[in-house]
Amino acid sequence: MNHRMIRYIIGSLIQMEAAMFLLPTITALIYKETVCIAAFMGTALFCVMAGHLLKGKKPEDVTIFSSEGYVSVAVCWVMMSICGAIPLYFSGYFPNPVDALFEIVSGFTTTGATILGDVEILPRSVLMWRSFSHWIGGMGVLVFMLALLPLAGASSMYLMRAESPGPSVGKLVPKVRSTAKILYSIYFFMTVLELILLLLAGCPLFDSVNLSFATAGTGGFGVLNSSAGEYNGIIQIILTVFMILFGVNFNVYFLIYTKNIKDAFKCEEARVYLGIIGASVLLITINTFPMFSGFWETLRHVAFQVASIITTTGFSTVDFELWPEFSRTILVILMFVGACAGSTGGGIKVSRIVIMAKTIVKELAVMNHPRSVRKTRFEGKTVEHEVLRSINVFLIAYLAVFVLSVLVISLDNLDGITNFTAVASTINNIGPGLSRVGPTQNFAVYSNLSKLVLTFDMLAGRLEIFPMLIMCTAGLKRKRWN
């Protein structure tokens, strides 16, 4: 394993994070938040020095393979989270370091779960850092770094694959660095477009910036205790549309960008994704219609909540904990389905769900006609056995982490619905769950041990399980063979 290259990547990332503290620092200067200015500037200085020590001289051998890619991504996200938690801790609003770590991991992984009961008491700079962390983690911080720095040549594809969500990740153009630039250019353009529309709809500037960051990263951190409930209907509709858009595979936008409109509309995953949203909105609207004053109000709130849950954003306009059991069950199912592969959303991903469903149909057909030869096709292409195997292994690992997490946090003696949906919301990077962790509640009810478990789940969910597992087992494997 190329340890020198791994250290160089980690050091580069930490130094880049120091530059990211510029936005909350400027915010603190504007609002004259003295303590926060010192916290963010001090942390930035620490990151610069720590990154310099880790980087050292750039190694001659810059080649990295799959194992280095997974370990680098996992360690980078852990180190980035620890550094990101430092200013939260020294701001004085997170006296428990575990709480500060939980909060910023929730930000970077675009989960949106919080331990705070009142976010409106936070300084503006802290609110900005929480929302900005969503935007940083949405597309992937290492993808951003690859767009700026040619770190590892062609082998940097392993970094992108380890960080990007979905069963398979490929290059849009021949060079990985160019692919990263294209992805972030689309990401930036959509974020700015949403910001402009929110401003035109009458949303305050500070709120618009935070909402745009949170929506783009499908995170869900808000600046109001009511999440998005206090904003007018037009603002809520804009948020609904952009949550859905950011849940689409960014390859579709690349096809549109290159004027391959026909190929963009042929995307099977996107069609299924929109179909699931449409069916869920229809069913929940019918089920919850008596709870609202009219059809359009019902449709607006239901569409918002469905978009928020399936894209794993986590915003809310109403307390869906009060909805009928049928509607809440649909929302829980959507938690697991998630958004499209290659989007900023979490969950299992629509592509995996579609491929698994087609595989079941194929196996049933083969059982009925043993001599027939059938293949699973997705997006017009035959799904290779390697992809099917990786999906099966992912689901097994996902289930194992899920069950073990529920078991450990059950030591806090909270009810089963709370524990189940707490793990579901963190491992799928959603934010709110049900019962004690519902949309009007928070995760402060859990002990430090449970918060650390849920923090691991957030990282595992964002990085698709394996980077975190490989990081945890790498040391054990080395000791075993030594």
Helix axes 268-288, 350-368, angle to 10 degrees: 100
Residue 164 has a pLDDT of: 62
156 half-sphere exposure, CB direction, 13 A CA radius: 23
Structure token pair of residue 446: 């859990």
Residue 285 has a pLDDT of: 97
C-alpha span between 304 and 322 (Å, rounded): 16
Residue 176 has a pLDDT of: 62
Task: Fill in the amino acid letter for 445.
Answer: V
- 108, 65 in Cβ contact below 8 A? no
Query: Nearest-CA neighbor of 388 among 359, 354, 346?
Result: 359
What's the first-to-final CA gap in the chain, in angstroms? 14
Conformation bin of residue 36: beta by default, left when phi > 0, alpha when psi is -120 to 50: alpha
Residue 184 has a pLDDT of: 86
Query: Nearest-CA neighbor of 242 among 219, 262, 223?
Result: 219
Supply φ then ψ for residue 218, to 5 degrees: 45, 50
Supply φ then ψ for residue 394, to 5 degrees: -60, -45
Q: Is this prediction's pTM over 0.75?
A: yes
Residue 50 has a pLDDT of: 95
**CB-count exposure of residue 262 (10 Å: 0-12, 13-18, 19+):** exposed
C-alpha span between 228 and 125 (Å, rounded): 20
- 237, 206 in Cβ contact below 8 A? no
C-alpha span between 146 and 302 (Å, rounded): 38
Residue 31 has a pLDDT of: 96
Give, for all 482 residues of the chain, the pLDDT tens digit: 778 888 888 998 999 999 999 999 999 999 999 999 999 999 999 999 999 999 887 777 767 777 777 888 899 999 999 999 999 999 999 989 999 999 999 999 999 999 999 999 999 999 999 999 999 998 877 776 766 665 545 456 666 666 665 555 455 554 566 777 888 899 999 999 999 999 999 999 999 999 999 999 999 999 999 999 999 999 999 999 999 999 999 989 988 888 888 888 889 999 999 999 999 999 999 999 999 989 999 999 999 999 999 999 999 999 999 999 999 999 999 999 999 988 888 899 999 999 999 999 998 988 888 877 788 888 888 888 888 888 999 999 999 999 999 999 999 999 999 999 999 999 999 999 999 999 989 999 999 999 999 999 999 999 888 889 888 876 555 544 44
Residue 169 has a pLDDT of: 47
C-alpha span between 351 and 456 (Å, rounded): 24
